[in-house]
Structure 1
Amino acid sequence: MANQELARTSHLRYYTDDDSEDAEDYEDDEVEEGSEKDRLGDEDDEMAEGGDSPGPVDCGSCFGLDGGGRSWSRRRRRSSSSFSGRWGWWMGQVMDPRAKWVQEWNRVFLLVCATGLFVDPLFFYALSVSDTYMCLFIDGWFAITVTVLRCMTDALHVWNMWLQLKMAKRCRGGGRSPAEARDEGASGDEGRRKEGPATTRAVALRYLKVKKGFLFDLFVILPIPQVVLWVLIPKLLERGSTTVVMTVLLIVFLFQYLPKIYHSVCLLRRMQNLSGYIFGTVWWGIALNMIAYFVASHAAGACWYLLGIQRAEKCLREQCGKTQACGPRLLSCKEPIYYGTTSMVSERLRLAWGENKSVRWTCIDSSNNYDYGAYKWTVQLVTNNSRLEKILFPIFWGLMTLSTFGNLESTTEWLEVVFNIIVLTSGLLLVTMLIGNIKVFLHATTSKKQAMQLKMRNIEWWMRKRHLPQGFRQRVRNYERQRWAAMRGVDECEMIRNLPEGLRRDIKYHLCLDLVRQVPLFQHMDDLVLENICDRVKSLIFTKGETITREGDPVQRMLFVVRGHLQSSQVLRDGVKSCCMLGPGNFSGDELLSWCLRRPFIERLPPSSSTLVTLETTEAFGLEAEDVKYVTQHFRYTFVNERVKRSARYYSPGWRTWAAVAIQLAWRRYKHRLTLTSLSFIRPRRPLSRCSSLGEDRLRLYTALLTSPKPNQDDFDF
C-alpha cells in the first residue's frame, strides 16, 4: 500500500514550452485538472459511502451490488486508461529533450527556418513582364521550383511539430528525464498504468494548448503563398486585374512572413535559454548573424523587385490609356502561367500592343523616360529571362541599401516613400546589431589573447625595471608561453573553485582519477580516499631546466609526475652526486608521508633528501603538505596496508638511491673477493692486509657504504 501511495503521489508532469507565460498556463491547467479530479473523487466517495447509508442506494447492497460506486469508478478509470493506452500506442514514448540527437535536430531545424525565410521571397520572382508582348505572366517552371522548396521546408516543420508532441521541455521532478519519471512511478501496478501512457497524452495536450505552440507552428506552414500563386493570381490575370495582383501578393507575403520571422526568433531564444549557446563556437554566432543579414537583404530586394514590377505595370497602364483599342486584358498575357513553350499569338490587338515602339521606349527600354524613382534599376530585370540575375541583383541592392543607407531617389508616391523609410530604418538597426554582435564575438575570441599580450608587456617592463639577467628573462618567457599553450589562458583552478562543492568534486574526480591511478602508490587505495585526493590535487606545469626543490629545503608538497621526466639528485658526504630519473607514474616528496604519520606529530616540515630538476617540460599533480596531512589523518587505515607500504618503499627515490649504492658496493666486494681467491697461489713479499692499494680500496668501500644515506627504517612503519 505504501508503494502504491508513493506511485500515486509521485506523478510527474511535463510540458512543452519554456516561456513564463506558458508556465502560468501550465499551473492554471494543473489547478483546473486538480479541481476536476477532486470533484470526481468526491463523487466516488459519496457513492461509496452511499452503500452504508439508508436510502435508495442501499437496495444495491441487498441485490449483491454493494460498492457499486466503486465498481463504476473502476470502470471509468479502466476506460480512461484504455483510451490513454491507445493514445500512447499511437504517439509513442515521451522523448527526453536533453538527448544529444534532439539538440542536434534543434540546430538543424534552426537552419531549416532560415532556409524557409529565404525561400518565401522567391515567390515574387515568379512574376515577370514579357519583353515581346509587354504583358504580365507567371514563370511556370520557376514557380514549380519555389513551390517544391517551400513544401520541403514545410515537411521538416511538420516533422518538428510531431517531435514537439512527444517531447517534454521541462520536468517538475527536479530535472529528471521522462524515463526516470516513469521508473519512479512504476513502483506498483496501478502506478505503472497511470504513469506510462498518461504522460505521453499530457505532453501532447500541453503542446496543443500552450501559446506559441501547435497553432502558431501550424500557421507558419500554411500553404498560403502556394494557393495565391497557383489559384488566385492566374484568375486575376485572366480578368486583367494586374494592379490587384501585386497588392494581393505583397499583403499575403507580409501576413505570413512577419510571424515566421517571430517564430524563428522565438526558437533561437528558446535554444539559448535551454543550453546557453546554439552551435558552441563563436564563428557559428558570426555566421548566424551574417545569415540573418543576408535573409533581410534578400527579403528587401524581393519586395523592391515586386514594387518595381508594379511601377512598370503602372507605366504600361498609363500608356495603354493613351492608346486606342487598348484594354486592361492586354496587360496580362494570354497564358497566365507560361512554361517557356512558344505559342503563336493571333490576336491583332496583342500584336499591335507588342509592336508599339512609343510604349516600349517609355516603359521598357530605359528608366530615364519614366519616373521610376527608387525602382529605376528594376527596369532591366522585369523583362530579363535569366532567373539567376533576377535573384542576385535584388540581393545586391538589398545589401547595398541596408549597409550604406542608400542614396535613394524617391518619388512622392506614398507607398514608395513608406517602403524607403522601412528599408532605411531596418538597415540602420540591422547594421548596428550586426556590427555589435560581431564585435562581441570577436572580442570573445581575442580577449584572452589580448590579455596575455598585455600581461607579457607588463612582465617585460618589470624585468627591465629590475634589471633581471637575460637567462631569467628567457625562463619567464618560456614559462608563460608554455602555460598559454597548455590552457589557452584559462585558469582551470579558479574556474573549478567557483563551482558548488558537489559538482567541483565530481569534475575533479572525473579529470584526475585516471591520472592519479597511474601513480603506483594510489593503486591499492579505495575510491573514497582517491576522491579526496582528486579534490585536493593541483595541476602544475614546469619548464625544462627548472629546479623544483633543493636538497635540505622543507618539503612543501608531493609531486606525482604525469608527463615528462625529473632528475632527482643528492650529494654524498665525499662530494659524489647520486642521480635517478623520475618519469610518469613516479612521485617525490614521500618524506611527507612519514612526517604526517609519525607519533608524536612534529609541526616542522621534513627536509628534502634530494634536488629535483626538470629534464623537459613536465606536467604533474601537486598535493600540498596540509592536504597530505588531511588525507593521512582521516584515512590512516589505508596507509597501514602492507601493499601501500611496499609500494611507497619501492617507488621512493631515497630508498632506490640507497639500494643502488648498497648493491653496487656489494658487487664490488664480491668481485674483489673473486680476485683475491684467484691470486691465492701467489705468495706476496708482504701480507695483502698490509698492501697500501688494497687498504685504500677497502677504506673507500666502507666509506661509501657508511656515507650512503639510508632512509629511516621507521619511515614507512605506520
Structure 2
Amino acid sequence: MASEGEFSLSRATHMQYFTDEDEEEEQEQEMGEELLEDEEESSQDCRSLYMCGPRRKGWSLGQVLDPRAKWVQEWNRVFLLVCATGLFVDPLFFYALSISETCMCLFVDGWFAITVTVLRCMTDALHVWNMWLQLKMAKRLSYRPNDDADEGEGRGERSGMNTRHVALKYLKAKKGFFFDLLVILPLPQIVLWVAIPSLLERGSITLVMTVFLIIFLFQYLPKIYHSVCLLRRMQSLSGYIFGTVWWGIALNMIAYFVASHAAGACWYLLGIQRSAKCLKEQCRGVEGCDLRLLACKEPIYYGTSKMVRDKARLVWGENKQARSTCIDSTDNYDYGAYKWTVQLVTNDSRLEKILFPIFWGLMTLSTFGNLESTTEWLEVVFNIIVLTSGLLLVTMLIGNIKVFLHATTSKKQAMQLKMRNIEWWMRKRRLPSGFRQRVRNYERQRWAAMRGVDECEMIRNLPEGLRRDIKYHLCLDLVRQVPLFQHMDDLVLENICDRVKSLIFTKGETITREGDPVQRMLFVVRGHLQSSQVLRDGVKSCCMLGPGNFSGDELLSWCLRRPFIERLPPSTSTLVTLETTEAFGLEAEDVKYVTQHFRYTFVKEGVKRSARYYSPGWRTWAAVAIQLAWRRYKHRLTLTSLSFIRPRRPLSRSNSLGEDRLRLYTAMLTSPKPNQDDIDF
C-alpha cells in the first residue's frame, strides 16, 4: 500500500497567533513601498550601463544575513523568550521600594535592586546583540528556487544587496534602530539609583512612586509593542513561531502571566504610595514632625544593622497612632483597592512580596475582581484599566486555546472516525486477521508521517507557478540524492519534481512482483527494500535497495524505444519492504512525458552509466557473472593441482566433488541478462 500525496509544505500545523488582517495589509503595503524605494535607489545609483563602473568600497559589516536562515529563525525564537523575560524583569524594580517597620520610613532594598539591575543588564545585552544582527539582516530577499534557506549568509549578496544598504535601511526604519534603542535605555536603573535617593533626601516620598510609574510605563508599553512586532515578523517569515500547537498555548499563557505580574507590581507600587500618603498625613498632625523623617537616613539600605540615634526618628518610630493607622491595620484608613498591600509594604520576605501581587493580578484579571475603590481619580483609572485588560486578555486566552485545542483534536477525531469506519468495513467483509493488522499498521504509519494533512489537496489548490516552485524547493534535495538525476539540468529536474508523488510503505509489504507490469519508477528516500529475482531451478538472487537507490528502470527503455510499444514492460524482480519505507515515485505516464520532452538528456553517456550502475537487474547479473568466473577459476586451479599429485580421476568421480556447486553455477550462468536495449537508447 502507498499513500500517494504530494510533498508537504511544512512539518507541523501552521498556526498564526494574534492575527490581524488590517495590520497584515499594512505590512504588505510597507513591503511594496520598500521594494519601490530599492528600485529607485538602484536606478539612481546606476542611470545607464555605461555610467556604472567600479565603486569605491566603504565601511562594511560583513555578509548580509538571510532572515529565513535556520539559525536566524532559531535565534528569533530565543530572542522572543528573552523579550518575555525582559517584560517579567522590569516590574521587579517596584519591589525594591519598601517601608521600614521599626522607623516607619521609606527606603530602597539595596541587594534586591542590584539583583534586578543585573538581570535587566543581561537582557539588554542580548537586545544589543540582536540589534547588531539586524544591522546585517535583510528584511526581504527576492526568492529564487535554487537558493537554499539553510545557507543563510550568502544569499543576500546573490540578490544584489550589501550590508551598507541593509544597515542604512535599518537605521532609517520607523521600527528599526531607534525603536530598539528606546526599549533598552536604562531608565528604570537611573530612576532607582539616582532619582529616587535624591527625592527621598528631600522628603518627597509620594512623588517617588509617581515618577517611577510614569518612567516605567514610558518604556514598558513600547517594549510590549516591540515583542508583538517580533511575533508578527516571525510569522511573516515562516508562517509559525515554534511550529507546534502546545507552544502556541504556552505563549498565550506566558503573555497572560506577564500581564498579571505587571498589574500586580503596579498595584504594589500604588499601595506603597497610599501607605506613604497615610504616614504623611499622620506626620503633619504631629507637632515637630519633619517630612524628611518619612525617608530613611540611608535611602539605599543593604541590611547593615546600625542603631538609630536620631531622637526625632526614635520619637516618630514610637508613634503608636501612626503605626496603628497606617501599618498595623486597614480599618483605620481608607486604602480602597490597595487594602491587601498593607501586609506587604513592611514584609521582609522578598519572595512573598513578588508572589502575592502576582496572585492578586491573576485573580483580578481572571475574575474581573470585586475591587473596593475610593473616589481618588488615579485609583479609579487604575481599576478601570485592570478590569478592561482582564476582560480582553481572558477573552483572547480562551479563544486562542480553544482554536489550538480544536486544531489538535479535530484531526485526531477525524482519524478515529476513519478507523472506526475501516474496522466496520473489515468486519463486514470478514477479512483475515493478518490483512486487518496490515491495514491498521498502514493507517498508523500514515498518521505518524502526515498527521492527517491532505498534501495533495493542499498543493492542488495553489496557482500552477507557485505550486511548481514550492515542489521544486521541497523535492530538489531528494531528487538530487538519486545518482541517476545528478547529470541532468535544472529544467529536467524541475519537471520531475512537479510530477513526483510521496509514497509510504509499511514493513513486509510487497510493492511489485516479478512479471507484473511496471507501474512506476520508485526512488527510496528512507528505509530499505529487498529486490529478489528468481533464477533457474528455483534459485533466488537478492539485493538490498536503500536511500538513493531506485527501481523500475525498465520504464526508461520502454519510453525511449522506437517504435514505441503501448504495453508496459514486465518487472524483472520482486520488491518487498524490510522496514517502514518512505519513497517518491514517477508514474509511467510521467516518465513517458519527461523522456519524450527531454530525450537529449537520457542519451548522455553519464546518464547511461548511472542507469547501468545503479540498476538492480544489471547489478544482479554482474554479481552472478563475476562470482561464476571466480569460482570456475578456483575450481580449475584445484583440479590442476590435484593432477600433479595422483592420476586424473574418472570424469564421473571428479564431477561428484562439486556436483552441487556446478548445478548452482549452471543456474547462475543461465540467469536472465538485462536487455542491452534497456540502456542503449
Q: TM-score, normalised by structure 2?
A: 0.74
What amino acid does structure 2 have at the position aligned with 1:115?
T
d(CA) in 2 for partners of 1:165, 1:711 = 61
One-letter amino acid of the structure 2 residue matched with residue 581 of structure 1: C
Once residues 398 and 473 of structure 2 are traced to their aligned partners in structure 1, the CA distance between those partners, rounded to angstroms, is 40
Partner of 1:581: 542
Tell me by how many angstroms 1:121 deviates. 1.6
1:389 counterpart = 2:337: no
CA contact (8 A) 1:649 1:716 kept: no
The equivalent of 1:240 in structure 2 is 203
1:377-456 aligned at under 5 Å gives the runs 377-456=340-419
Give the Å deviation of 1:131: 0.4
How far apart are the structure 1 equivalents of 2:615 and 2:276? 97
Kindly indicate whether residue 106 of structure 2 is the aligned counterpart of residue 136 of structure 1: yes
Query: Which whole-Å CA distance do the structure 2 matches of 1:650 and 1:155 have between them?
Result: 59
User: Per-residue displacement from partner, 1:654-702 (whole Å, max 9, x unpaired)?
Assistant: 9799999x99xx99xx9xxxxxx967999xxxxxxxxxxxxxxxxx99x
**Whole-angstrom distance in 1 between the partners of 2:435 and 2:578:** 17
Aligned pair 1:512/2:495, yes or no?
no
Distance 1:491 1:658, change over 3 A: farther
How far apart, in 1, do the equivalents of 2:363 and 2:70 lie?
Answer: 40
The equivalent of 2:233 in structure 1 is 270
Query: For residues 51-62 of structure 1, what are the structure 2 equivalents within 5 Å?
Result: none
Secondary structure of 1:95 counterpart: coil
* Residue aligning to 2:656: none
Deviation (angstroms), 1:300? 0.7
Structure 1 residues 146-225: aligned runs within 5 Å: 146-170=116-140, 200=164, 202-225=165-188
Deviations 1:245-281 (A, max 9, x none): 2222222222222222222222332232233333444
Per-residue deviation, residues 301-321 of structure 1 (Å, max 9, x unmatched): 111111111222233233334
1:121 aligned residue = 91
Number of matched residues?
613
Q: Does 1:292 align with 2:258?
A: no
Q: How far apart, CA to CA, are the structure 2 residues paired with 1:445 and 1:161? A: 36
2:66 touches 2:141 (CA, 8 Å); kept in 1?
Answer: no
Query: Match for residue 283 of structure 2?
Result: 320
Cα deviation, residue 133, structure 1 = 1.4
Matched residue type, 2:209:
M
Match of 2:659 in 1: none
The one of the two structures with greater contact order (alpha-carbon pairs below 8 A, sep at least 6) is: 2
Distance 1:182 1:681 in 2: 79
Among 291, 300, 306, which residue is 1:343 paired with?
A: 306
CA distance in structure 1 between the partners assigned to 2:144 and 2:179 by the alignment: 29
> Residues 550 and 615 of structure 2 are in contact (CA less than 8 Å); yes or no, is this contact kept in structure 1?
no
Q: Which amino acid aligns with 2:176?
A: G
Cα deviation, 1:461-487, whole Å, max 9, x if unaligned, reads 333344444443222112212333444
In 2, distance between residues paired with 1:322 and 1:183? 77
State the distance in 2 between where 1:205 and 1:142 align.
Answer: 40
Output the CA distance in 2 between the equivalents of 1:558 and 1:434: 50
Q: Partners of 1:560 and 1:222 in 2: how far apart? A: 57
Which amino acid in the other structure matches residue 602 of structure 1?
I
Q: Which amino acid aligns with 1:500?
A: R
Structure 2 counterparts to residues 76-87 of structure 1, below 5 A: none
Query: Does residue 500 of the first structure (1) align with residue 461 of the second (2)?
Result: no
Is the alpha carbon distance of 1:471 and 1:381 closer, same or farther for their aligned partners in structure 2, counting shifts above 3 Å? same
**8 Å CA contact 1:588, 1:652 repeated in 2:** no
1:397-432 CA distance string (max 9 Å, x none): 212222232333334443323222211221221222
Q: Is 707-716 or 400-409 further displaced after alignment?
A: 707-716
Matches of 1:545 and 1:359 in 2, distance apart? 86
Q: Name the structure 2 match of 1:635.
A: 599
Q: Distance in 2 between matches of 1:26 and 1:540?
A: 41
Look up the equivalent residue of 2:120 and give its one-letter code.
R
- Aligned partners of 1:523, 1:30: CA distance in 2, in Å? 38
- Which secondary structure does the structure 1 equivalent of 2:545 belong to? coil
Report the CA distance shift for 1:26/1:377 in structure 2 as closer, same or farther (over 3 A).
same
Cα distance change on mapping 1:428 and 1:653 into 2, 3 Å: same
Task: Supply the AA of the counterpart residue of 1:291.
Answer: I
d(CA) in 1 for partners of 2:142, 2:622: 60
Instruction: Please tell me whether the aligned partners of residues 531 and 545 of structure 2 are also in contact (alpha carbons under 8 angstroms).
Output: no
Q: Name the SS for the 1:651 alignment partner.
A: helix
1:477 partnered with 2:446: no
Gaps of 5+ in 1: 1-16, 42-72, 186-194, 671-676, 683-699
Q: TM-score, normalised by structure 1?
A: 0.70
Amino acid at match of 1:504: K
Determine what percentage of the aligned residue pairs are the same residue: 72
> Is 1:112 aligned to residue 112 of structure 2?
no
Distance 1:444 1:640 in 2: 50
The 1-side partners of 2:138 and 2:212 are apart by 39
State the distance in 1 between where 2:373 and 2:421 align.
Answer: 57
Indicate whether 1:95 and 2:64 are aligned.
yes
User: Which residues in structure 2 correspond to 1:3-18 (within 5 Å)?
Assistant: none
User: C-alpha separation between the residues in 1 aligned to 2:242 and 2:119?
Assistant: 25
Q: What one-letter code is carried by the residue in structure 1 that aligns with 2:188?
A: P
Residue of structure 2 in register with 1:686 after alignment: none
Residue identity matched to 2:112: F
Distance 1:32 1:604, change over 3 A: closer
1:305 aligns with 2:268: yes
Amino acid corresponding to residue 651 of structure 1 in structure 2: G
RMSD (CA atoms): 5.0
Following TM superposition, by how much is the alpha carbon of 1:299 offset from its aligned partner in structure 2, in angstroms?
0.9
Once the two structures are TM-superposed, the CA of residue 455 in structure 1 deviates from its matched residue by: 2.1
Q: Residue 644 of structure 2 corresponds to which residue in structure 1?
A: none
Tell which deviates more after alignment, 256-265 or 337-346.
337-346
Rg (Cα) greater in structure: 1
CA offsets per residue over residues 315-374 of structure 1, 9 Å max, x none?
323333444443433322233332322333333332222112233223212334433232
